[in-house]
Amino acid sequence: MTRKLLILCCGTLVLIAVSAFIFSSSRTEAGASGAISASGEVAEVDRSVDQRMIADQSFDVQILVDGRPLEEYYARGKSYVEAIAGAEYEVRVRNPLPYRVAVALSVDGLNTIDAQHTTAWNASKWVIEPYGTISISGWQMSSVRARRFYFTSERDSYGAMLGQTANLGVVTAVFFRERRPYPVPVTPAPRRPPYQIYDEDGRERSSEAPAPDSSGGRAESVDDKAAGSASVRKGQVIPQPDDEYAATGIGRSVQNDVRWVNMELDPRAAGEVTIRYEYYPALVRLGIMPRRYYERPDPLRRREGARGFEDRRFSPEP
């Protein structure tokens, strides 16, 4: 009897041990699979974030004068360049990716295509081919003509003509990827294609004129835009322009052929580059550049070295 009871107890203990082992193994398997799933998603998100950050850092924007990029100074989390009064300049933008991107480019807070002040997503955009580089040298006035950028005072700026003086002294580029990108291998182009413009509404545009407006499709002149801007902002406080600080003027006309294209874009910006520009005295006041000190002659030392006579026969003409 005692032997049967002992065997029964041992069997019960073995059964309990086996059940506990199976239950523990199932929990371990479930937990491990959940951890893999969670870590897989996080790793995937982190990987996309890393790729996005790398892409952001590889977008390149430069300001060129006479074909040479201006030296950039990094301070306060921004990039600064020294403006040269009266000098014409252009903005060079590079796409490091194997597929097309669209870039909203603004100067002094005004879109370089239509001089509107909107969000980056709603702005008309320039299209850059895979691994391509474009140089924007002025405000696009029509499908065949642009007017050059040049450094000037706030009072003489294009923004002041339009009554838009709140965002002077800044160049900003915001990049958007094509929603269905098709990677393209690096191949040298036979010739440089004309710049392409993307309009957010996605409609086909005639190559004879830029996007139509309320005036019946004609391109607005500077005076028309200034009058319209003034009427829109009637009653608002507009910052008064100043001759001491740098801004961008609207200069001579140059040929720049463009055409409208359709693109489906990812609404999330892939990157943004901002460059502030100022004249040298303003950069010194901001602490961006050191003050240049010139040795001045000491009047007291000059007076101490004065002499009463010198070897001369007659008095010289004043």
pLDDT value, residue 215: 36
What is d(CA 166, CA 164) in angstroms, rounded to the nearest whole number?
6
pLDDT for 317:
80
pLDDT of 108 reads 97
Q: In this structure, what token pair is assigned to residue 43?
A: 């790793």
Compute the distance between CA of residue 10 and CA of residue 8 in angstroms, rounded to an integer: 5
Say yes or no: 105 and 6 in one domain. Answer: no
Cα separations (Å) of 299 from 69, 182, 303, 309? 42, 73, 6, 20
Please report the pLDDT score of residue 302 as a whole number: 77
Could you tell me if 23 and 68 lie in one domain? no
Model confidence band, residue 243 (pLDDT cutoffs 50, 70, 90):
confident
pLDDT of residue 46: 35
Please indicate, yes or no, whether residues 127 and 49 belong to a single structural domain of this protein.
no
- Examine residue 290 and state whether it is found in any structural domain, yes or no: no
Same domain, 66 and 27: no
Average pLDDT on 233-241 reads: 57
Question: Who wins on pLDDT, 302 or 150?
Answer: 150
Give the residue from 177, 193, 204 showing the smallest Cα distance to 260. 204
State the average pLDDT over residues 229-239. Answer: 51
Query: Best-predicted range by mean pLDDT among 12-16, 208-212, 262-266, 287-291?
Result: 262-266
Token pair for residue 204?
Answer: 């086909």
Cα dihedral sign, 246-250-254-256: positive
Q: Are residues 52 and 126 in the same domain?
A: no
Shared domain for 242 and 131, answered yes or no, is yes
Residues 90 and 121 in one domain: yes
Three-state SS at 293? coil
The pLDDT assigned to 205 comes to: 47
Q: pLDDT digits over 168-212, tens only?
A: 999 999 999 998 756 666 666 566 555 555 555 544 444 333 443
Q: From its phi and psi, is residue 10 left (phi > 0), alpha (psi between -120 and 50) or beta?
A: alpha
Residue 7 shares a structural domain with residue 122: no
Q: Are residues 108 and 47 in the same domain?
A: no
| Residue range(s) defining the domain that contains residue 3 | 1-58
| One domain for residues 14 and 95 | no
Residue 53 forms part of a structural domain: yes
Instruction: State the distance between the two ends of the chain, measured CA to CA, in whole angstroms.
Output: 143
Q: Are residues 28 and 66 both part of a single domain?
A: no
| Residues 128, 193 contacting (CB under 8 angstroms) | no
- Residue 271 CB coordination number (10 Å): 23
The answer to whether residues 25 and 70 belong to one domain is no
Q: What percentage of the chain has pLDDT greater than the value 70?
A: 61
Distance of CA 254 to the CA centre of its chain: 24
Q: Would you say the pTM of this structure is higher than 0.75?
A: no
Give dist(CA 115, CA 158) in Å, integer.
Answer: 9
User: At residue 270, does pLDDT exceed 80?
Assistant: yes
In this structure, is residue 159 part of a structural domain? yes
Q: What is the mean pLDDT of residues 112-138?
A: 95
Does the CA dihedral 276-278-284-289 come out positive or negative?
Answer: positive
Q: Which two tokens stand for residue 228?
A: 């319209």
User: Does the pLDDT at position 152 exceed 90?
Assistant: yes
pLDDT tens string 21-70? 554 444 443 333 333 222 233 223 233 333 433 344 489 999 999 999 99
Contact 117, 111 (CB under 8 A): yes
In whole angstroms, what is the distance from residue 246 CA to residue 153 CA? 5
Number of folded domains in the chain? 2
| Closest alpha carbon to 212 in 127, 125, 121, 114 | 114
